[in-house]
Amino acid sequence: MLSRAASAAAEVLTGGRGAGMTHAWLFTGPPGSGREEAARAFAAALLCPDGGCGHCDLCHQVLIGSHPDLETVRPQGLSYGVKDTRRLILRAAGAPTLGRWRVVLFEDADRATEGASNALLKAIEEPPPRTVWLLCSPAPDDMMITIRSRCRVVTLRTPTTAAVAHVLATRDGIAPDLAEFAARASGGHIERARRLALDNDVRRRREAVLSIPRTLTGVGDCVAAAEKLVKTAEEEAAAVSSVLNEAETTELRKIYGEGSSGKGLNKGLVRGGAGALKELEERQKSRATRLKRDVIDSALLDLVAFYRDVLAVQLGARVELANADLHHDLTALARASTPEGTLRRVDAIMLCRERLAANVNPQMAVEAMTLSLRRP
Ligand SMILES: [Zn+2]
């Protein structure tokens, strides 16, 4: 579908009708299914004179995000607001610098607020002739129906364990055994699998999370486990945030002339600098909250996979276990509990994810969960 559309798009550029090309696309699929990668490859196909050869300078620029006609939007905070969206729409409306298309790749478009979505809808309804919108979201339902109905939807699936292991082994040169383990443990999420295979810290954190179920015997253990999980997430998020924040703040101060003598600095510029700095701080705060939430969520997904394995053992289901390396823990827990109990535990984890998404205090939400996970 995408390569047909890219050929049609090339036809449009030479004055043809280009049936099969459309200016608004929605890439959906579960996390790790490669939504952004697919959208980026399509952007390269539109912007490269060879239909996305993958080798030329223009393709390279698209892949690293420096192509002048590609605008990548990656919401860093909890939401993407109407002010940012209006600025984006303005930039997107310009004529393409290199004469082909102007492409907007909007990652996590589901984070657009209602106001932002309405602005986006208007831009998609009345598109400039050469602007192409590539929106990405986990499920079509995450987008307003009015936006969805104006987009061509590309639906991606979670790749199989074998496919993920193959990519890790051939693309990243990871040893087949490790690739296989990482692919299984990450449930088909290529990026998580890659980090798991390459980063010792990530592997250690996974082990720590998966050791939680066997420690939950008394109420005190549950409270302690919750506290530890939240604290580790906070530390990890803070480490990532501080690196990002520092670079951004230095960059912004430089733009507004700090560090020079200050003489001759226009007053308006100084005021503008203070405003921009405040705006940046707010964005950074929102991103830090999101980072922490994402870290906890990824731990919760590991726990879901663990109890799903317990259930598979209890039911004697012939499915691949995500945590085959923890076979001893799995079978011990499977014997000590019932399938109904395991399902209740999975529900408790999913409820915790919902609560976190709804802004419940993480410590309280996680504690309620670990108490429900208590061993029989
Ligand atoms: Zn190319």
CATH number of residue 232's parent domain:
1.20.272.10
Q: How much distance in Å is there from the Cα of 67 to the middle of ligand 1?
A: 12
Q: What is the C-alpha end-to-end distance of the chain, expressed in Å?
A: 52
Report if residue 146 sits inside a domain: yes
Q: Express each pLDDT in 276-334 by its tens digit.
A: 788 888 888 888 888 888 889 889 989 999 999 999 999 999 988 999 889 999 999 99
Question: Is residue 127 domain-shared with residue 233, that is, in the same domain?
Answer: no
Question: Is residue 17 domain-shared with residue 70, that is, in the same domain?
Answer: yes
**C-alpha of 133 from chain center:** 18
Report if residue 261 sits inside a domain: no
Q: Express each pLDDT in 241-262 by its tens digit.
A: 888 888 888 877 777 766 544 4
- 184: domain range? 161-198
Report if residue 262 sits inside a domain: no
Report if residue 208 sits inside a domain: no
C-alpha–C-alpha distance, residues 345 and 105, integer Å? 38
Q: How much distance in Å is there from the Cα of 173 to the middle of ligand 1?
A: 25
Report if residue 33 sits inside a domain: yes
Mean pLDDT of 95-122: 93
Question: Is residue 169 domain-shared with residue 83, that is, in the same domain?
Answer: no
pTM above 0.75, yes or no: no
Measured at the alpha carbon of residue 106, what is the angle toward residues 122 and 47, in degrees to the nearest 5?
A: 100
Q: How much distance in Å is there from the Cα of 306 to the middle of ligand 1?
A: 43
Report if residue 269 sits inside a domain: no
CB 370 within 8 A of CB 223: yes
Number of domains forming the structure of the chain: 3
Question: Is residue 118 domain-shared with residue 178, that is, in the same domain?
Answer: no
Q: How much distance in Å is there from the Cα of 87 to the middle of ligand 1?
A: 29
Report if residue 59 sits inside a domain: yes
Report if residue 145 sits inside a domain: yes
CATH number of residue 42's parent domain:
3.40.50.300
Question: Is residue 111 domain-shared with residue 231, that is, in the same domain?
Answer: no
CB burial of residue 179 (10 Å; 0-12, 13-18, 19+): buried
